[in-house]
Amino acid sequence: AWSEIPLAPPDKILGISEAYVADANTNKINLGVGAYRDNTGKPIIFPSVKKAEQVLLELEKEKEYTGITGSKKFQNAVKNFVFNNSNKDPNGKQLIDSGRIVTAQTISGTGSLRVIGDFLNRFYTNKKILVPKPTWANHVAVFKDAGLTPEFYAYYETSKNDLDFENLKKSLTSQDDGSIVLLHACCHNPTGMDLTVEQWDEVLQIIQDKGFFPLIDMAYQGFASGNPYKDINLIRRINELVAQDKIKSYALCQSFAKNMGLYGERTGSISIITESADASKAIESQLKKLIRPIYSSPPIHGSKIVEIIFDEQYNLLESWLSDLDKVVGRLNTVRSKLYENLDKTNYNWDHLLKQRGMFVYTGLSSEQVIELREKYSVYATEDGRFSISGINDNNVKYLADAINAVVNK
Ligand code: PMP
């Protein structure tokens, strides 16, 4: 009977927003959800996106379904953006031209993770997926629900507020050959700490030695450097290894939620890099077979915005790149303002300056986070992750004072 169904716990991140809304303190700050806010604390629509929507309003003549895996125009725009990398990645271009990349539009990054999870569960022999500790909580939930077995590899040492690279290598090496391994392309969520080029090379060597299947999640492309074409070192390096036949296949989950601000439009993609054009055909047909009974086809508004932004005739690419650069610039400014205002006598805050993206991973304990919430109305997840777009000129001093008080207690 329905009455026997147990109550499920609320989503950790969304639960924080609810508590924030209910708080009457006018100084309250929401550092929970990873969505951009401007310096007045409001969400924005990228001006380039607004312009693309105006083009759409003029030109759109129908609201027909797109294909199960989205439109060819969207797929080609994504391939060109991510793999050809503005004509800077000859290996990626070669993979596109030889038909070795299957790209499908998905329901944003989460949808793409779920589709590839289901696909791997159906067609890949090894069900173990190695994910960094810590990782975005939904990774574990998505892969479990897709029938895979997530297991952590070492990534970050909270006591040192730094990467734990030696243990990362050890824990990957000790895993079963042929496992799936999840890599964050840049702006690792929640720590904001990425590997260097040299460290990626070492990890890619382990991946080759162990025959792992690399699954890359790229939700924050552009948020590390301000330029999406620069944040793609991992993809370019892996394409080089594919060109040398050292890695045969990998998959990339990609989202426009953050870097075009298309959050609720649910626009992203899955790309599978295959061994041959023939393999691509079969894989594409199986992706269609898998997606059709779940949601039939993806939504069209966001993907049409993406198509327009990448379509040269509308001249919007440069404005988008500059919109994104401004967003990232503001995040970097508040990051350093927070750092400036923090008391470094009893706590070393230098890790803040090494972290990139939408978050700072403070290293505060869950007790300290709860104290910030209860005494100062500062809302963040209990792992000490702060979504810094909630910080602005008006509240950075209040926030730093609150943190200083809690740390120096
Ligand atoms: N991967 C990571 C690491 C994320 O942080 C997010 C968003 N929080 C996503 C994927 C997916 O986001 P979306 O479904 O909104 O594209």
pLDDT digits (tens, 9 = 90+) for 233-276: 999 999 999 999 999 999 999 999 999 999 999 999 999 999 99
Could you tell me the distance, in angstroms and rounded to a whole number, from the CA of residue 120 to the centre of ligand 1?
19
Residue 53 in any domain: the answer is: no
Examine the domain organization and report whether 280 and 382 are in the same domain: no
Instruction: Find the 343 Cα to ligand 1 centroid distance in Å.
Output: 32
pLDDT for 129-178, tens place per residue?
999 999 999 999 999 999 999 999 999 999 999 999 999 999 999 999 99
Whether residues 161 and 310 fall in one domain? yes
ipTM of the complex: 0.99
- Measured from the Cβ of residue 87, the count of other Cβ atoms closer than 10 Å reads 10
Judge contact between 400 and 339, C-beta under 8 A.
no
Q: Decide if pLDDT at 221 tops 80.
A: yes
Residues 30 and 130 in one domain: no
* Residues 163 and 303 occupy one common structural domain: yes
Which residue's CA lies nearest to atom 8 of ligand 1?
34
Is 59 part of a structural domain of the chain?
Answer: no
Closest CA to 133 of 190, 186, 201: 190
As a whole number of angstroms, the distance between CA 99 and CA 88 comes to 19
Q: Are residues 356 and 283 in the same domain?
A: no
Asked, for residue 224, whether it belongs to a domain, the answer is yes
Cα(353) to centroid(ligand 1), Å: 23
Residue 56 lies in a domain: no
- Contact present, 360 and 192 (Cβ < 8 Å): yes
- The first and second tokens of residue 89, run together, are 């990645």
CA distance linking residue 143 with residue 116, whole number of Å: 9
Task: Using a pLDDT cut of 90, give the percent of the chain over it.
Answer: 95
Query: Hey, whose CA ends up nearest to atom 4 of ligand 1?
Result: 219
Six token digits for residue 402 = 């609150």
- Note the Cα 228 to chain centre separation in Å: 13
Q: What atom in ligand 1 is closest to the CA of residue 34?
A: 8
Q: Note whether residue 54 is domain-resident.
A: no
**Which of the listed residues 12, 131, 255 should we mutate to test ligand 1's pocket, taking the one with most ligand atoms within 8 A of CB?**
255
Q: Whose CA is nearest to atom 16 of ligand 1?
A: 109
Closest CA to 395 of 10, 24, 34, 37: 37
Q: pLDDT at position 222, please?
A: 97
Domain identity same for 281 and 322: no
- Say if residue 260 is in the same domain as residue 334: no
Segment 178-200, tens digit of pLDDT: 999 999 999 999 999 999 999 99
The one catalytic residue in 28, 79, 258, 337 is: 258
Are 295 and 390 contained in the same domain? Answer: no
pLDDT at 349: 97
Please report whether residue 50 resides in a domain. no
What secondary structure does DSSP assign to 10-32, as a single string?
PPHHHHHHHHHHH---TT-EE--
For position 409, what pLDDT does the model report? Answer: 85
CB 104, CB 70: distance < 8 Å: yes
Question: Is 258 noted as a catalytic residue in this protein?
Answer: yes
SS3 220: coil
Q: What is the pLDDT of the chain when averaged over all its residues? A: 96
Residue where one domain finishes, among candidates 298, 314, 330: 314
Is residue 84 located within the same domain as residue 101? yes
Q: What spacing in Å lies between the alpha carbon of 131 and ligand 1's midpoint?
A: 15
Q: How far is the CA of 347 from the centre of ligand 1 (A)?
A: 31
Which of 89, 118, 194, 217 does the annotation list as catalytic? Answer: 217
Sign for the CA dihedral angle at 259, 260, 263, 269 comes to: negative
Residue 12 lies in a domain: yes
Contacts of 390 (CB under 8 A, 6+ apart): 29, 30, 31, 32, 37, 41
User: Does residue 217 carry a catalytic annotation?
Assistant: yes
- Residue range of the domain that includes 353: 2-45+318-407
Q: Model pTM greater than 0.80?
A: yes
136 is catalytic: yes
| DSSP output for 293-320 | HHHSS--SHHHHHHHHHH-GGG--HHHH
Are 301 and 323 found together in one domain? no
Query: Of 281, 314, 347, which residue constitutes the final position of a domain?
Result: 314
**Residue 393 φ then ψ, to 5°:** -55, -30
Residue 121: which CATH number? 3.40.640.10
* 295 and 172 within one domain: yes
Given 288, 314, 340, which residue is the final one in a domain? 314
| Structural domain contains residue 60 | no
Find all residues with CB under 8 Å of 385, minimum gap 6, and list them. 190, 359, 360, 361, 362
Domain count, the chain: 2
Cα distance between residue 236 and residue 82, in whole Å:
9
* Ligand 1 atom at minimal distance to the Cα of residue 255: 16
Q: Whose CA is nearest to atom 7 of ligand 1?
A: 219
Are residues 133 and 282 located together in one domain of the fold?
yes
Residue 49 in tokens:
């996106």
Ligand 1 contacts (CB < 6 A) are 34, 108-110, 136, 189, 217, 219, 255, 257, 263, 268
